[in-house]
């Protein structure tokens, strides 16, 4: 593997001025010329819908694609807790610089300083934008916005709409998008799945899609392609992601030359409802905001099987408060997750499987009264009761960590453009802002910053500085990619084996979770790679997809996505293998402090690892490095004690 | 537990459909209803019969993708619950369950239990937004919203657009959906400038899409997985009368793709 160094095109000057400098230096497109440019946006979640709506408002012709029946169902809708903004409305010492600092530190120094600073700057405008759109954030009696705090920070900067913040923010962006659809500036292509990217003369010029109802394979030409297709946590099968969330769009782009950065950086969220049955299809997240008032504990005695309410105070181990006195239950997600796993691995876990810890509201209910708790967290308690049949007002919730968000994704420069000119990547689909660990309430922030403010500035600059020849779908490049897509669909349908795509994903997910999940070692990763290769071969030999390609065929959709998850899983493991350090939620057993905390190796791994596809059939991908320089937040061992 | 399922099978909108009978065995009570269908689909697939198509995504009751009738009740009859959150604990061993898609002229069947709900998007396109072009917003706290208004607005905005209200209504009306959208935006200070236009236009769009009218059965409220209250329909009717009265001297605006009134450039 030969390493080359990537240029992220970070503007010069002090960090506070970089985005202003960049915006001034970028070229503009005259309003009368904008309608001559066409832009494809794939995905209509927070980043995609916000980006498509904002570009439509500017006067560009936008085509937006979603595999859902309507943009309002994108997985952003499931985010619960809130969105950060450095407004300092609480007068508790918050500032853009502090949000920037918390995010770089929280990401365990594996994110890009300039991007994170811009994210913190834009957070302020995001709240303004959403409020103007009518997003019903929580209010105080005086009519001002309410806030709460989240893991990894000591200020109250998280704005929320009860436990449904993601839904409300997405509805804001969706409504802005529908307004543009009505106005004719955005054309929405619902129930369309992007299956490939078309690169002409080195530039992204379009995509190939499958109409999920008719099966028609279609070519779409544009001047620019923006991928806002979310994350790939479903490579673990059991995750908090929606069932359809997948890696196909970014994986196809990777196979067409876009670099895939830090694929092993996947976030494990500490507060999910534990698994109860092997037939379970997904894991449900309980918002991190619960840790504001809920206290995490396990019985001190490992074999203590008494009901939790019968265990006296002095026989409970509030292990987060004990180990991390200054942050307590609000330590960042990676720390809380690993602490729970350690307790359970040592046999201290609770619940039928032993894979759980208590999240107890007893003290909060006594302090605030049940009504105040209901007001703040009511819907989360309802979700919990529906799934477990237990009333968390009476007995503590049980929680366990689960895969939730992926910090890896396609590599992008400061303009959110991949190394393929004209191919932009926004939101969770790119790698840029969260480093090795995402702090709470910052995913919504990144999706909207990218969608409302960054893409609508950088895409026009690309259009203004890159004259593009006119093209149509008869161009040989389009026909060739279209043929590839046709063949791939035919191949999946033609195997005619015995096993469903779902059954393969269940098995693949377990391998990746067990051997390359929260804790991993050289041996476990090598074991995973061997198992994945064997299973991958079997998949292409013994898959069964019934029906045809010319109809709504959900088995075919799943099979295509699982095929890409196999390849991604291999790259994820290779990336994890080469990163011989513990970082964020990625605990390499070979790299730990004497107290058992994650130990980074800045001398050797202070870079983003971007992988280049070198062809199939076992050709190893090439590693490119983007060195990460920390000028403002100085590299230090994270401490939340 | 073991169950007898009778499921509507239909290959596409233009093909005839029929009910078919299936048995599922050894279902754990911890599973969700959709996980039970996953198990059925694994069996069907193994037997060479195409799996039952049904929509689902988040499986957390928030995306609004899922939904069908179980024994004639949208989402299956547990109050405030989408079918993806419906636990098999809710059923008994030996139960006979009939599964059929939402039935409404405005929601054509696409396949099996999947219907086309894009009419809802077109109702939103008619005015279900507050025009706030990106970058033009004042400081968030410059707009004071009384807590009661914010809370009511939120209660209405909790609608997930699943279509259960339409499926449950004997008239296949989309009143609860449209009322929820209107109450969400019409409550807020930011929503006032477009309030009259929004009310008139969205109600007109609802009729255009072929939804029926409300005759106060209240079935929509009974099945709504987000428990959106019927009183929002009253709010909508008041808003409609108010808007009609205030605009009685102006012709009704009919939005169309040909009149890009909101174009930013």
Question: Using one digit for the tens of pLDDT, what is the confidence trace for A292-315?
Answer: 899 999 999 998 999 999 999 999
Q: What's the confidence (pLDDT) of residue B264?
A: 38
pLDDT bracket for residue B250 (50, 70, 90): low
Size of chain A, expressed as the number of residues it contains: 641
Q: What's the confidence (pLDDT) of residue A285?
A: 86
Cross-strand bridge partners of residue A84? A158
Distances (CA, A) of B135 to A122, B22, B138: 11, 55, 9
| Cβ count near A315 (within 10 Å) | 13
Q: In whole angstroms, what is the distance from residue A247 CA to residue A429 CA?
A: 9
Nearest residue on chain A to B44, alpha-carbon basis:
A546
| Cβ count near B20 (within 10 Å) | 13
Q: In whole angstroms, what is the distance from residue A158 CA to residue A331 CA?
A: 15
CB A90, CB A146: distance < 8 Å: no
Residue B260 pLDDT greater than 60, yes or no: no
pLDDT bracket for residue B251 (50, 70, 90): low
Q: In whole angstroms, what is the distance from residue B114 CA to residue B103 CA?
A: 11
Q: In whole angstroms, what is the distance from residue B160 CA to residue B62 CA?
A: 6
Q: In whole angstroms, what is the distance from residue A585 CA to residue B219 CA?
A: 48
**For the whole model, what pTM was predicted?**
0.95
Contact A386 B53 (CB under 8 A): no
> Which of B129, B181, B226 to mutate to test binding with chain A, by most A CBs within 10 Å of its CB?
B129
A50 to chain B, any CB pair closer than 8 A? The answer is: yes
CB B12, CB B110: distance < 8 Å: yes
Q: What's the confidence (pLDDT) of residue A489?
A: 97
Report percent pLDDT > 70 for chain B.
93
Residue B257 pLDDT greater than 60, yes or no: no
Determine which helix (DSSP H) or strand (DSSP E) holds A406, and give its type and residue range.
Answer: strand A397-406
In A, which residues are within 8 Å of B125 by CB distance?
Answer: 178-179, 181-182
Q: What's the confidence (pLDDT) of residue A497?
A: 97
Rounded-to-10 torsion of CA B209, B215, B217, B219: 10
Q: What's the confidence (pLDDT) of residue B170?
A: 97
Q: What's the confidence (pLDDT) of residue B254?
A: 57
The dihedral through the CA atoms of A439, A443, A445, A450 has a sign that is: positive
A616 to chain B, any CB pair closer than 8 A? The answer is: no
pLDDT bracket for residue B259 (50, 70, 90): very low
Query: What digits encode the pLDDT tens for the residues A374-383?
Result: 988 887 898 8
Which two three-digit tokens encode residue B201? 């236009």
Largest CA distance in chain A: 75
Average pLDDT value for residue range B86-97: 96
Contact A69 B118 (CB under 8 A): yes
| Of the candidate ranges A165-169, A373-377, B52-56, B189-193, the one whose mean pLDDT is the lowest | A373-377
> Which of B10, B60, B138 to mutate to test binding with chain A, by most A CBs within 10 Å of its CB?
B60
Ramachandran sector of residue A22 (left: φ over 0; alpha: ψ -120 to 50; beta: rest): alpha
Listed residue (A130, A107, A121) closest to A53, CA to CA: A130
Instruction: Quickly list H helices, chain B.
Output: 33-47, 118-125, 147-157, 164-168, 175-186, 195-208, 219-223, 231-246
Query: What digits encode the pLDDT tens for the residues A172-226?
Result: 999 999 999 999 999 999 999 999 999 999 999 999 999 999 999 999 999 999 9
In A, which residues are within 8 Å of B264 by CB distance?
Answer: 56-59, 185
Residues 6+ away with beta carbon under 8 Å from A459:
A39, A55, A224, A226, A424
Residues of chain A with pLDDT under 50: 1-2
Hey, is A316 helix, strand or coil? strand
Which two three-digit tokens encode residue B254? 């009919």
Q: What's the confidence (pLDDT) of residue B249?
A: 62
Q: What's the confidence (pLDDT) of residue A508?
A: 98
| Burial of residue A477 (number of CB atoms within 10 Å: 0-12, 13-18, 19+) | middle
């Amino acid at each position: 593997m030969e390493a080359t160094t990537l240029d992220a095109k970070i503007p010069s000057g002090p960090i506070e001025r970089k985005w202003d400098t960049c915006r001034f230096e970028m070229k503009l497109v005259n309003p009368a010329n904008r309608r001559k440019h066409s832009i494809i946006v794939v995905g209509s979640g927070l980043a995609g819908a916000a980006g498509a709506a904002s570009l439509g408002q500017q006067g560009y012709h936008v085509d937006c694609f979603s595999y859902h029946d309507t943009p309002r169902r994108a997985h952003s809708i499931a985010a619960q807790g809130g969105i950060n903004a450095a407004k300092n409305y609480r007068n508790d010492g918050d500032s853009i610089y502090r949000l920037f600092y918390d995010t770089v530190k929280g990401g365990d120094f594996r994110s890009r300083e300039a991007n994170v600073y811009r994210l913190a700057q834009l957070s302020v405008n995001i709240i303004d934008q959403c409020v103007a759109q009518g997003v019903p954030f929580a209010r105080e009696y005086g009519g001002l916005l309410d806030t709460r705090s989240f893991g990894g920070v000591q200020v109250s900067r998280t704005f929320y709409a009860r436990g449904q913040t993601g839904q409300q923010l997405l509805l804001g962006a969706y409504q802005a998008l529908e307004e543009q659809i009505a106005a004719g500036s955005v054309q929405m292509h619902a129930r369309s799945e992007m299956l490939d990217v078309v690169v002409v003369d080195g530039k992204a010029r379009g995509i190939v899609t499958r109409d999920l109802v008719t099966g028609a394979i279609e070519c779409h030409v544009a001047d620019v392609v923006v991928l806002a297709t979310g994350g790939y946590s479903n490579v673990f099968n059991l995750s908090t992601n929606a069932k359809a969330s997948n890696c196909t769009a970014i994986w196809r782009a990777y196979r067409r030359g876009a670099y895939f950065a830090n694929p092993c950086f996947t976030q494990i969220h500490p507060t999910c409802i534990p698994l109860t049955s092997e037939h379970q299809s997904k894991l449900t997240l309980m918002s991190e905001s619960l840790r504001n008032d809920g206290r995490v504990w396990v019985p001190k005695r490992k074999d203590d099987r008494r009901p939790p309410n019968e265990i006296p105070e002095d026989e409970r181990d509030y292990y987060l408060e004990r180990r991390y006195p200054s942050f307590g239950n609000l330590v960042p997600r990676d720390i809380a997750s690993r602490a729970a796993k350690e307790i359970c691995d040592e046999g201290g876990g609770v619940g039928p499987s032993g894979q759980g810890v208590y999240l107890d509201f007893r003290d909060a209910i006594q302090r605030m009264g049940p009504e105040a708790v209901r007001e703040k967290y009511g819907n989360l308690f309802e979700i919990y009761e529906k799934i477990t049949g237990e009333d968390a007002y009476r007995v503590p919730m049980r929680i366990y960590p689960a895969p939730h968000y992926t910090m890896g994704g396609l590599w992008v420069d400061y303009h959110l453009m991949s190394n393929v000119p004209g191919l932009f990547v926004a939101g969770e689909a790119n790698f840029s802002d969260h480093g090795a660990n995402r702090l709470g309430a910052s995913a919504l922030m990144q999706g909207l910053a990218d969608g409302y403010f960054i893409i609508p500035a950088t895409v026009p600059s690309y259009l203004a500085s890159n004259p593009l020849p006119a093209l149509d779908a008869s161009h040989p490049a389009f026909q060739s990619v279209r043929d590839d897509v046709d063949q791939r669909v035919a191949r999946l349908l033609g195997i005619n084996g015995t096993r469903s795509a779902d059954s393969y994903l269940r098995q693949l997910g377990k391998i990746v979770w067990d051997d390359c999940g929260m804790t991993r070692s050289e041996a476990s990763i090598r074991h995973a790679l061997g198992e994945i290769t064997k299973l991958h071969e079997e998949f292409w030999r013994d898959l069964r997809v019934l029906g045809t390609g010319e109809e709504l065929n959900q088995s075919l959709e799943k099979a295509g996505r699982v095929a890409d998850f196999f390849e991604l899983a291999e790259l994820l493991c290779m990336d994890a293998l080469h990163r011989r350090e513990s970082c964020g939620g990625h605990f390499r057993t070979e790299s730990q402090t004497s107290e058992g905390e994650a130990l980074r190796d800045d001398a050797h791994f202070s870079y983003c690892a971007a992988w280049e596809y070198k062809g199939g059939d076992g050709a190893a991908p090439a590693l490119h490095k983007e060195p990460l320089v920390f000028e403002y937040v100085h590299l230090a061992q994270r401490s939340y004690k | 537990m073991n169950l007898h399922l009778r499921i509507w099978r239909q290959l596409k909108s233009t093909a005839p459909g029929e009910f078919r009978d299936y048995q599922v065995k050894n279902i754990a009570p911890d599973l969700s209803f959709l996980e039970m269908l996953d198990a059925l689909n694994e069996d069907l697939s193994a037997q060479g019969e195409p799996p039952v198509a049904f929509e689902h995504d988040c499986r957390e009751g928030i995306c609004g993708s899922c939904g069908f009738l179980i024994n004639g009740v949208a989402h299956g009859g547990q109050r405030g619950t989408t079918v993806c959150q419906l636990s098999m604990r809710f059923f008994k061993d030996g139960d006979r369950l009939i599964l059929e898609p939402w039935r409404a002229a405005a929601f054509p069947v696409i396949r099996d239990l999947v219907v086309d709900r894009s009419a809802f998007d077109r109702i939103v396109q008619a005015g279900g937004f507050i025009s706030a072009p990106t970058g033009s917003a004042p400081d968030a706290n410059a707009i004071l919203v009384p807590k009661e208004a914010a809370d009511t607005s939120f209660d209405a905005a909790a609608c997930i657009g699943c279509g259960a209200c339409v499926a449950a209504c004997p008239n296949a009306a989309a009143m609860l959906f449209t009322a929820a959208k209107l109450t969400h935006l019409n409550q807020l200070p930011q929503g006032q400038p477009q309030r009259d236009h929004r009310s008139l236009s969205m109600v007109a769009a609802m009729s255009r899409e072929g939804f029926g009218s409300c005759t106060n059965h209240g079935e929509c409220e009974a099945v709504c997985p987000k428990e959106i209250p019927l009183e929002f329909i009253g709010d909508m009717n008041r808003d409609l009368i108010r808007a009609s009265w205030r605009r009685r001297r102006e012709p009704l605006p009919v939005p169309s793709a040909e009149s890009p009134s909101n174009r930013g450039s």
